[in-house]
Amino acid sequence: MARAVTVVMPAYNVTPYIGTALDSVFAQTVRDVEVIVVNDGCPDTPNLERVLDAYASRIIYIRQDNEGVGSARRTAIDAASTPLIAQLDPDDWWERDYLAVQLRLLEASGGADLIYPNGYYFGRPDMEGRLLMEYSPSEGDVTFLSAMAMKVNIIYSALIRREAILRAGNFDPKFRTSEDFDLWMRMLKTGARISYHREPLLHYRLRRKSLTSGAIAVHEWLLQVLDKLETVLDLSAEERAALLARRANVQMELELARGKEAIQQRQWRDARWHLQLYRNSNPSKKISAALALLRCCPWILGAGMAVQKRLLGSGLLKAKPQRMV
């Protein structure tokens, strides 16, 4: 079994966390690893480098201007010297047997190019200890159609054959989030085989300032990715229909996110506009009730959302499992 693995770690505003992530890498039962940390123009570089000094002999450290996580991942892949890539963001961490399990299952997969595990959320009381696959499920085979329809949701912390990444064109440097989804879909179109299992090996931190914490930005970037994929990929009629359906879904989720933000900012007219657009595509009693309150007594809705936010923040109310875009 090949044990030569490069761990790819892009770094931006993660100084308080990166030591924990690196400790989890060097505590692995598999020791033959190359670790590449790419400083993507981190604004507190002196502090980051003070933390990294303790690991200087065990990592490859690269500095670049702030170009975004897609560019940082691409830089690390280009610099890697091993046939296998393992991704770990520096605010997350692995169980000690992450690499051992992933390597064993990749070898047993019969030729998979990428394998991803389950994991746990932490850092937010309403989701503490919940499994990633509760919120981002994977059921059935991983195909372009199933991934586009969110029947499978490929978790970023995967073990990947570098050759398959390069064959698909590597990470796109212009995407600052959803860069992984863009690559996975291109890999699938170039014939890559993707597999998964349900053993929780990753601990995924939820924090306010992480790239994926802002729902509006996430949806906007994903729309850009979908626009690109429609342009550059040779899609069958069924694949194109699936992409268009996903785009329509993301657009409506963006309207919902904008509506919620408008309510929080007490911009009632904008809130009505966005929620009405959402209801036109996704009619529901809950949204209809929200629109009725926005017309007659919007402050009640605003107060209710503020109370819900406080309860979620305290952990007294738990986030409901739902499919992510």
Q: Do 259 and 201 reside in the same domain of the chain?
A: no
Q: pLDDT tens digits, residue range 76-109? A: 999 999 999 999 999 999 999 999 999 999 999 9
What integer is the mean pLDDT of 227-245?
Answer: 98
What integer is the mean pLDDT of 12-36?
Answer: 96
Is residue 114 scored above 90 in pLDDT?
yes
Domain end point (choices 159, 178, 213):
213
Is residue 116 scored above 70 in pLDDT?
yes
Q: pLDDT tens digits, residue range 129-161? A: 999 999 999 999 999 999 999 999 999 999 999
- Place 214 in a pLDDT band, splitting at 50, 70 and 90: confident
Is residue 323 scored above 60 in pLDDT?
no
Question: For residue 271, is it within any domain?
Answer: yes
Q: Do 130 and 276 reside in the same domain of the chain?
A: no
Q: Do 12 and 125 reside in the same domain of the chain?
A: yes
Q: Do 203 and 247 reside in the same domain of the chain?
A: no
Could you give the number of structural domains in the chain?
2
Q: Do 185 and 242 reside in the same domain of the chain?
A: no
Q: Do 104 and 24 reside in the same domain of the chain?
A: yes
Q: Which residues of 56-70 are buried (b: 16+ CB within 10 A; e: fewer)?
A: eeebebbeeeebbbb
pLDDT at 211: 41
Question: For residue 62, is it within any domain?
Answer: yes
Domain end point (choices 178, 213, 248):
213
Q: Is the CA virtual torsion 5, 73, 81, 53 positive or negative?
A: negative
Domain limits at 269? 235-314
Q: Do 264 and 119 reside in the same domain of the chain?
A: no
Question: For residue 219, is it within any domain?
Answer: no
What integer is the mean pLDDT of 28-40?
Answer: 96
Q: Do 43 and 140 reside in the same domain of the chain?
A: yes
Q: For the ranges 7-11, 205-209, 278-282, 310-314, which has the lowest average pLDDT?
A: 310-314
- Place 41 in a pLDDT band, splitting at 50, 70 and 90: very high
pLDDT at 1: 42
* pLDDT > 70 in the chain, percent: 93
Q: Do 147 and 201 reside in the same domain of the chain?
A: yes
Question: For residue 246, is it within any domain?
Answer: yes
List the CATH number of the domain containing 204.
3.90.550.10
- Place 3 in a pLDDT band, splitting at 50, 70 and 90: very low
Which positions ≥6 away from 88 have C-beta within 8 Å? 7, 8, 9, 21, 24, 25, 94, 157
Question: For residue 136, is it within any domain?
Answer: yes
Question: For residue 277, is it within any domain?
Answer: yes
Q: Do 63 and 151 reside in the same domain of the chain?
A: yes
Question: For residue 225, is it within any domain?
Answer: no
Q: Do 197 and 272 reside in the same domain of the chain?
A: no
Question: For residue 291, is it within any domain?
Answer: yes
Structure-block tokens of residue 44: 């507190």
Q: Do 164 and 75 reside in the same domain of the chain?
A: yes
- Residue at 66: amino acid letter: N
Distance (Å, whole) CA 300 – CA 141: 45
